[in-house]
Structure formats: structure tokens, C-alpha cells
Amino acid sequence: MDFDTNLIIRVLPQLAKGFWFTLQLTAISALGGVLLGTLLALGRLSGNAVLSRMIGAYVNTLRSIPLLLVIFWFFFLVPYIAAWVTGSQRPVEINALTSCVITFILFEACYFCEIMRAGMQSIPPGQLHAGKALGMGYWTVMAYIIVPQAFRNMLPVLLSQTIVLFQDVSLVSVLSIKDFFGSADFVAKRDGRPHEMYLTVAFVYLVVCVSLSRVAKSLQRRVTIVR
């Protein structure tokens, strides 16, 4: 097999642009997923049976569906659903990038919800009772006492889920978005050099994911609150 390293060097700017896009989409989706997931976790633990069941149904449903299918559903069906809701005669136009960002946030929020819920439940209930005894409401206690500790305890797990998200972002290529994998796939098909491109992508993903996994393990030893 003739491995053309010069091809990799020539397309480095294109790959770097795709890699930067992948990092941006990962960061935006992770941030949005953590924020929404935390709110969902608070709702599930609020004691409101109706709210808890609704959120539970949402979380369990999306976690049971492949992400690729969710991406297709949102991209192809949501424009028609939005048209029905707004009364529009035509499907509401949603570009591929916006569709992917919203899809990833809604999907990843389900996983971050369960992570944050486990973190909140790991905090001794006496802290919640103490806050209420001081006259603080449920949401205030959660915001200022429980959630910060839960976030710190679960930070390594949150980072591990973000690593999974980083890998999952490659699925946007099915919508012809040129992320890191999509850019490499485009060059591979254009120049007929799949070995160089796919091996390069695999190597970069391996280095990034292994490095982040080591960071997660280091955080596991350092940031967990000792009881």
C-alpha cells in the first residue's frame, strides 16, 4: 500500500478547520447539555410527581434511541412540526448546523441529567434539610449548596461523557457538514486516498481521547470531596 504523507500535509489546513469546528460543536453541545441536564435533574428530584415523570419519560426515551436516528428525525421532521405549530403553509427552514446543535444539546442533556442527578443524590440529605431549616427554598438550596458540590464530584464523569460527545460529533457528516471526519471523508473520496485520511482521523481521535481520559482519571483523584 502506497501511503502518501504529502497528501496529509497538503490538506492539513482543511483538516485543521474541520477539527476546530468539531471542538466548537463539542464545547457548545457540552455546555448546553450540562445546563439543560442540570435543570432536568433538579426537576426529577423536585418532589413534583408529574414533573418528575414527564422528565423521566423524556430522558429515558431519548437515551433509548440511537443518536444518528435523532439527528435525522430532527433535521427532516422538525421543520414540518414547526410549520404545524406556527400554522405555516411550508416547512420551517432549519439549516443543518442549527439542527445538529439543538439535537446534540437535547440528546446529551439526557445523559448529563442522569450524571448530575447521581451527583446530587450523593450529597448527604442533611445539607438539604439544614438549608430548609435556615429558611432557604428548595431551588435556592440546590443552586447554592447541592449543585456546586454535585458538579465537583461528577466533573470526571462529565468529562468522560464529553469525550463520548466529541466522538459522536462525527455523525454530523451524514448531513454533509464538514467537521473533522467530514473534511477527511471529503478528501478521501475526492482524491481516492481513503487509507491516508481515515488512518489520520483515527490517530487524532485516539490521541485526543486518550489524553482526555487521563485528565478525567486525574480529576477523579483530585476533585472528589472526601467524606
Q: What is the CATH number of the domain that holds 37?
A: 1.10.3720.10
What confidence category does residue 223 fall into, taking pLDDT thresholds of 50, 70 and 90? Answer: low
| Number of residues that this document lists for the chain | 227
**Residue 226, pLDDT score:** 47
Query: What is the span of the domain harbouring residue 26?
Result: 5-222
d(CA 124, CA 121): 7
Q: What is the DSSP string of 35-71?
A: HHHHHHHHHHTSS-HHHHHHHHHHHHHHHTS-HHHHH
What percent of the chain stands above pLDDT 70? 97
Q: Does residue 189 lie in a domain region?
A: yes
Mean pLDDT of 200-218: 90
- Amino acid in position 31: L
Most confidently predicted of 28-42, 61-75, 208-222: 28-42
Q: Does residue 120 lie in a domain region?
A: yes
Q: Is the confidence at residue 56, as pLDDT, over 80?
A: yes
Residue 164: closest CA among 212, 219, 199, 119: 212
Mean pLDDT of 155-174: 91
Neighbours of 68 (CB within 10 A): 11
**Could you tell me which residue, 158 or 135, shows the higher pLDDT?**
158
Q: Is the confidence at residue 186, as pLDDT, over 60?
A: yes
Q: Does residue 227 lie in a domain region?
A: no
Mean pLDDT of 152-167: 90
- Per the prediction, the chain carries an average pLDDT of 86
Q: Does residue 76 lie in a domain region?
A: yes
Q: Does residue 59 lie in a domain region?
A: yes
* pTM score, whole prediction: 0.86
d(CA 49, CA 67): 28
Q: Does residue 25 lie in a domain region?
A: yes
Q: Looking at the 3D structure of the chain, how many domains does it have?
A: 1
Mean pLDDT of 28-39: 94
Mean pLDDT of 130-154: 83
Burial class of residue 227 (count of CB atoms within 10 Å of its CB; 0-12, 13-18, 19+) = exposed
Mean pLDDT of 83-93: 80
Q: Is the confidence at residue 114, as pLDDT, over 90?
A: yes
Q: DSSP alpha helices (H): ranges in 93-193?
A: 96-121, 125-133, 138-141, 147-168, 180-191
Q: Does residue 191 lie in a domain region?
A: yes
Mean pLDDT of 143-156: 86
Q: Does residue 207 lie in a domain region?
A: yes
The CA-based angle 11-203-28, given to 5 degrees, is 80
